[in-house]
């Protein structure tokens, strides 16, 4: 039986469309992995820039895409720790998902150890990871962060110097270089490190917060407050900036302005846990009694 010319064209069009969709679908399948890996890289970079509010959002999205990704859960655990949240659920999930066959096993364990407050465990695991991948920028940076948290600032600084020698473009290292220098009472060097970090990452509120810390430690409270004002303008949910500002204003004797800053911090604490809000409430209660 012959088909009409109209029906023939219809079937030709439909078969062509189905063929196109089949190839497009195959292309999309191949794109899933690179898209996820790039998103993971972006999220990790956000964490290592200490922009934890943004990193929290990015890792939330990653976990929705791939719930069984151990490294994503491990990073999320440490982000929760940094944002005054309970990291235990993500720690448990990460530890359940990883094993020795996972190439990121050691760094996953290191992140979970840090989030648990076990800095020695973190150091041990990250060093094991770096034996296998000594050039890894995130691993080296995490080691430096751990050493600084353990009050081994000189070792942390050396680790960061070595990292920057290998990779001059890895600008997040300058942030923790600044904190290592502050711990070593090297204030001018700290200001230079934070300034470099800020120049490389000028839209990051955390960069202004770090710069503010250096100026405050150097006795320049006006510059510190100016930096923090810039930080909270860049991100309305950068509640830590308001908290930091309130602390400095109080030490300057500006009690009412400190109260205002802490109140704004409470409203901005979208990504923070209840412990953060409770600490602000306690500060407000104390200041209002005093005021």
The closest alpha carbon to 286, from 246, 245, 242, 244, belongs to: 246
Is the pLDDT reported for residue 6 higher than 70?
Answer: no
**Which residues are CB-contacts of 172 (< 8 A; sequence separation ≥ 6)?**
45, 48, 49, 50, 141, 197, 201
Mean pLDDT, all residues of the chain:
91
Q: Which of 30-34, 58-62, 153-157, 164-168 has the lowest mean pLDDT?
A: 30-34
| Fold for the domain defined by 202-291 | 1.25.40
Q: What is the mean pLDDT of residues 111-117?
A: 98
Q: Where are the domains of the chain?
A: 202-291
Is the pLDDT reported for residue 230 higher than 80?
Answer: yes
Q: What is the mean pLDDT of residues 243-247?
A: 98
pLDDT in tens, 30-86: 444 558 999 999 999 999 999 999 999 999 999 999 999 999 999 999 999 999 999
The closest alpha carbon to 120, from 109, 131, 130, belongs to: 109
Is the pLDDT reported for residue 106 higher than 60?
Answer: yes
Phi, psi values for residue 85, rounded to 5°: -105, 165
Rg (CA), the chain: 24
In angstroms, the CA 170 to CA 179 distance is: 16
Q: Does residue 179 or residue 6 have the better pLDDT?
A: 179
DSSP string computed for 221-288: HHHHHHHHHHHHHH-TT-HHHHHHHHHHHHHTT-HHHHHHHHHHHHHH-TT--HHHHHHHHHHHHHHH
Is the pLDDT reported for residue 92 higher than 90?
Answer: yes
In angstroms, the CA 23 to CA 28 distance is: 9
pLDDT, residue 289, reads 87
pLDDT, residue 120, reads 98
pLDDT band at 11 (very low <50, low <70, confident <90, very high): very low
> What is the widest separation between alpha-carbon atoms in the chain?
96
Region for residue 169 given its phi and psi (left: phi exceeds 0; alpha: psi -120 to 50; beta: otherwise): alpha
In this structure, are residues 123 and 107 in contact, taking their beta carbons and an 8 Å threshold? Answer: no
In this structure, are residues 273 and 85 in contact, taking their beta carbons and an 8 Å threshold? Answer: yes
pLDDT band at 28 (very low <50, low <70, confident <90, very high): very low
Q: What is the mean pLDDT of residues 153-157?
A: 98
Q: What is the mean pLDDT of residues 110-135?
A: 97
pLDDT band at 10 (very low <50, low <70, confident <90, very high): low
pLDDT, residue 16, reads 54
Q: What is the mean pLDDT of residues 203-227?
A: 97
Q: What is the mean pLDDT of residues 262-281?
A: 96
Q: pLDDT exceeding 90 applies to what percent of the chain?
A: 86
Residue with tokens 């300034």: 195
pLDDT, residue 22, reads 53
In this structure, are residues 276 and 83 in contact, taking their beta carbons and an 8 Å threshold? Answer: yes
Q: What is the mean pLDDT of residues 2-11?
A: 46
pLDDT, residue 9, reads 45
Q: Which of 19-28, 124-133, 186-195, 281-290 has the lowest mean pLDDT?
A: 19-28
pLDDT, residue 19, reads 53
Q: Does residue 23 or residue 230 have the better pLDDT?
A: 230
């Amino acid at each position: 039986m012959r088909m009409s010319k109209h029906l023939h064209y219809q079937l030709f069009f439909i078969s062509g469309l189905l063929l196109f969709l089949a190839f497009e679908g195959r292309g999309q399948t191949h794109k899933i992995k690179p898209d996820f890996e790039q998103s993971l890289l972006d999220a990790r970079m956000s964490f290592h820039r200490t922009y934890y509010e943004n990193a929290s959002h990015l890792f939330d999205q990653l976990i929705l895409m791939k719930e069984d990704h151990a490294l994503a859960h491990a990073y999320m655990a440490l982000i929760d720790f940094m944002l005054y949240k309970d990291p235990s659920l993500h720690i448990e999930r990460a530890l359940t998902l990883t094993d020795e066959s996972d190439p990121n096993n050691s760094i996953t364990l290191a992140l979970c150890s840090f989030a648990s407050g076990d800095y020695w465990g973190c150091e041990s695991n990250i060093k094991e990871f770096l034996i296998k991948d000594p050039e890894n920028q995130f691993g080296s940076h995490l080691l430096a962060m751990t050493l600084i948290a353990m009050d081994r600032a000189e070792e942390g600084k050396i680790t960061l110097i070595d990292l920057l020698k290998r990779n001059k473009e890895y600008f997040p290292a300058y942030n923790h270089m600044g904190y290592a220098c502050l711990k070593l009472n090297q204030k001018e060097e700290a200001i230079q490190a934070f300034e470099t970090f800020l120049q490389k990452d000028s839209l990051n509120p955390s960069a202004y917060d770090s710069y503010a810390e250096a100026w405050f430690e150097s006795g320049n409270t006006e510059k510190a407050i100016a930096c923090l004002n810039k930080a909270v303008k860049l991100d309305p949910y950068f509640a830590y900036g308001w908290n930091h500002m309130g602390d400095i204003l109080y030490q300057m004797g500006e009690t009412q302005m400190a109260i205002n800053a802490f109140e704004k911090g409470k409203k901005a604490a979208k990504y923070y846990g209840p412990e953060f809000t409770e600490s602000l409430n306690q500060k407000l209660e104390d200041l209002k009694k005093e005021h």
